Chains A and B, each alone.
Chain A
Amino acid sequence: MAWDLIANVVISGVLTGLVYGLMALGLSVIFGVVRVVNFAHGEMMTIAMYAAVVLFAALKLDPFLAIVPVAAAFFAFGYAMQAGLINPFITRPEHSQFMLLVAVALIMVNGLLLAFGPDARNVQTEYQLESFALGPLLFDKGRVYAAAAALAAAAGLFAFFRFSLTGKAIRACADNYLGAKVVGLDVKHLYALTFGLGSVCVAVAGCAMAILLEVTPQLGPAYTLLAFVIVIVGGLGSMGGALVGGVLIGVSEAMAGLFIAPSAKSMFSFGLLILVLLFRPQGLLGRKQ
């Protein structure tokens, strides 16, 4: 097998993996802080993809520009969902929270099916067909832009958590719920804020992904599982881990697709999840809990 074919596949995997990583980052932030398993994560991403498709179809709005309104809408939605729906469930048993989001996911997937039908939809821009050439290596323009958007969003999130006061407050809630309350932080509001931020990640990732793939309602559950694989492999509570995990999964899926069979690529991810859950549950970069 020619090395430049492999190299191109790896590059493609890395770029796609960064978008996966952003999606997983949203989940990691939500899971890490609010401790809620957002089983509707992939479904939310699918909704974002559909939003980009619809905006493109109606207004000829490039998906990367659509990021702004979609992200704003998702922030509001995420905040509302946490504040309204999930907050009362924080004290309930785990399987209850889980099932709550399973129900939401179920409604989302089938709502999309109702609204858009099962056929695939996509966005068609000019730059999707072009690529940058670097010697024998080809970088798809669409993928590069998508990865750039993902990196920008991730960087923004890192900066927020590192440098802003609210970011530090959220980290405090994650580290010590009771302590944060004692210090006077409005934990419920901060949780909702976190969910909103996680949703923004999903929105950006979704718009970026709309450039790369066709969207069908069934992508939702697949992405949810993928996000969990990445978060667990990369390490819970580690934001860098989510990105690294995303790239790892992106590359391994691409390689599995090349060497085994395209339809088997997810098998590798699930196998990896099983191994990680059993032997290194804190993931590659996570903290041992």
Chain B
Amino acid sequence: MNKRTATLLAILGVALAALPAFAGNYVLSVATLILYLAFAGQAWNVMMGFAGQLSLGHSLYVGVAAYVAGGLFFHYGIGPWAGLWLAMLACVLIGAAIGFLAFRFGISGVYFALLTIAFAEFTRIGFDHLGWTGGPGGMFLKVAQRDQIDLLNFRGPPAMYYYTMLVLAAGAFALCAWLLKSRAGYYWQAIRENEEAAQALGINTFRWKMIAVMISSAMTAVAGVFFAFYYNNLFPEQIFHISRSIEIILGPIIGGVGTLFGPILGAAVLTVLGDAITELLAVLGWEIPGVKQVFYGVVLLAVIMFVPNGIWPALARRLGLGK
């Protein structure tokens, strides 16, 4: 990356690291949410931007991971660091299963998207009837002291969650940058652009698509575990809902699918503007549910119609940055 990009990244990094010193709890929580969406979006981006498979059921991995880690903590007191690995394993297996079923049977494009939605919905209703995870009434994790940092159980002040998410998002960014530059990255781009040509060149498309799906689900699992221990309450209706899946993909699509900065930029723009609108309406005295979502829909529509490659590529060109 060129000097400009590096400088901008450095400034951004310093600003983000210093944020808790200036910001109150509300701003911190918004920032954490942005980073969470950026991280989850980046995870989804691996499947879509790298392997070209549109997944509209990513809430499945968030939910399964959250419930696995949360359930282990709730029933057996197993801390999040151990639960994380089991959650990731579960999600990788599920992702691999879906990927295997889809790719072996030649399902792609719209049908793959529908398949992912079907799996997510199936799981949502399934968890509604699952006693071990509390059913539709939800699962509530004990919220211990928030002032002291209890890293073992992942409890602490908002700043701790913020920094965790910052590290995760930065890590995801670095991982994706490294993946893109590696051999795998070129294989994925080839598969995305023209799968048949890639196969003709001798690339084992099945294997690389599976790897992309597994990486994507593993990363999303981490987001799920974070979700469980940050929000401390889990409801199947909410966590597996299709609107959660759409929430995850809004960032990358608006920012730019397949790019590195896209998900982060998209998540930031959407969350900030969305909250600004809600705040503005609240100030004017209107508490209207659904306005934020309508706004998201309109922005999504506008981006898809006029800036289909996302905001980041256009912005990058203007600012003279690299990818």
Contact = CB atoms under 8 A, between A and B. Distances in A.
A98 interface: yes
Interface string B123-136: 00110110000001
Interface stretch (A62-70, A105-113, A134-142): A105-113
A273 B114 contact: yes
A85 B305 CA distance: 9
B294 A110 contact: yes
B294 A103 contact: no
Contact of B118 (A106, A107, A273): A273
B107 A274 contact: no
Contacts of A232: 111, 114
B245 to A, nearest CB: 10
Contact of B304 (A100, A114, A263): A100
Interface in A225-241: 225, 228-229, 232
A82 to B, nearest CB: 14
B314 interface: no
A108 to B, nearest CB: 8
For the residues of A in contact with B, the DSSP-based class is helix
B129 to A, nearest CB: 6
B122 A270 contact: yes
B121 A270 contact: yes
Nearest to A114: B290
Contacts of A37: 110
Given A111-B294, A113-B289, A264-B125, A99 B110 contact: no
B308 interface: yes
A104 interface: yes
Contacts, number: 110
B306 to A, nearest CB: 11
B294 A277 contact: no
B138 to A, nearest CB: 15
A57 to B, nearest CB: 21
B197 interface: no
B62 interface: no
Contact of A266 (B111, B125, B242, B290): B125
Interface in A28-75: 37
Residue with the highest number of chain A CB atoms closer than 10 Å, among B246, B298, B301: B301
Given A267-B125, A270-B121, A99 B304 contact: yes
B119 interface: yes
Interface in A88-147: 88, 92, 94-96, 98-100, 102-107, 109-111, 113-114, 117-118
A100 B125 contact: no
Contacts of B109: 94-95
Given A98-B54, A103-B304, A113-B289, A277 B113 contact: no
Nearest to B288: A114
B172 interface: no
A263 B125 contact: yes
B288 A99 contact: no
Contacts of A117: 289
A279 B102 CA distance: 11
B134 to A, nearest CB: 15
A279 B105 CA distance: 8
The CB with the most chain A CB atoms within 10 A, among B107, B289, B297, B298, is that of: B297
A163 B301 CA distance: 38
B52 to A, nearest CB: 9
Interface of B: 48, 54, 56, 101, 105, 107, 109-111, 113-115, 117-119, 121-122, 125-126, 128-129, 136, 242-243, 246, 253, 288-291, 293-294, 296-298, 300-301, 304-305, 308
Given A114-B290, A264-B125, 15 more contacts: A94-B110, A95-B48, A102-B56, A102-B300, A104-B297, A106-B293, A106-B297, A113-B289, A225-B117, A225-B118, A232-B114, A266-B125, A271-B122, A273-B114, A277-B118
20 contacts: A95-B113, A96-B304, A96-B308, A98-B110, A99-B300, A100-B305, A102-B300, A103-B297, A103-B298, A104-B297, A106-B300, A110-B290, A114-B288, A118-B289, A221-B242, A225-B242, A270-B121, A278-B107, A279-B105, A281-B111
| Across the A-B interface, the 3 shortest Cβ-Cβ residue pairs | A106-B297, A113-B290, A107-B297
